Amino acid sequence: MANLIIWRHAEAEDHSVGCLDTDRKLTKKGQKDAEKMAKWLNVHLPSNTKVLCSPAKRCLETAIFLQQLNNHELNVADFLSADSTVENIANNVINDDSAKTLLIVGHQPNLGLLIAKLLGMNENSCVVKKCTVWWLKQRHSNGAMQTYLFTVQHPAL
């Protein structure tokens, strides 16, 4: 991968009795924030970006704002579900295709754990705030693959 863009879902309704966690919808604030981040992403995403999304409603609602702007195909990926593991996510997103740009929409803590793993940080040192985008890039240098932080964007900025 040349680019791995990690987008945490926007603010969702609180979990309530009788409601499945996967069915929680975005709040009005969450919708506004997702729309802001989608507009930023739409301006900056490479044209070859593949979008993968957790099957949770709040993630799908977050990603749909981007899909509405540029018709990127939105692919649901079970390995991004809230009950997945960081190892499962890493195995599905890390590859040797240096031309590939991948945008994933998912959940904390797995997204923070994935970022920490890729950047060589302590596993508990990275928290991804709601609706924030972390953009990681990879490059070959002296025969080794290096991953570095390109940018972090939050809807309030």
| pLDDT tens track, the chain, 157 positions | 689 999 999 999 998 878 889 999 999 999 999 999 999 999 999 988 999 999 999 999 999 999 999 877 899 999 999 999 999 999 999 876 667 899 999 999 999 999 999 999 988 889 999 999 999 998 878 888 789 999 999 999 8
Provide CB contacts within 8 A for 151, sequence distance 6+: 133, 134, 135
Q: Which residue, chain included where needed, has tokens 């705030």?
A: 129
Cα–Cα distance between 98 and 106 in angstroms, integer?
Answer: 23
In whole angstroms, what is the distance from residue 24 CA to residue 55 CA? 11
| CATH fit for domain 3-11+22-138+147-153, picks 3.40.50.1240, 3.40.50.2300, 3.50.50.60, 3.20.20.70 | 3.40.50.1240
Other beta carbons less than 10 A from residue 42's beta carbon = 14
CA gap 84, 70 in Å, rounded: 29
Q: What are the backbone angles phi and psi of residue 61, rounded to the nearest 5°?
A: -65, -35
pLDDT at position 152 is 97
CB 72 within 8 A of CB 93: no
Length of the chain: 157
Q: Does the predicted model carry a pTM greater than 0.85? A: yes
Give the CA distances from residue 31 to residues 12, 87, 133, 157, in Å, rounded to whole numbers and listed in that order.
9, 30, 15, 16
User: What is the structure's pLDDT at 88?
Assistant: 96
pLDDT at 1: 61
Predicted pLDDT at 107: 97
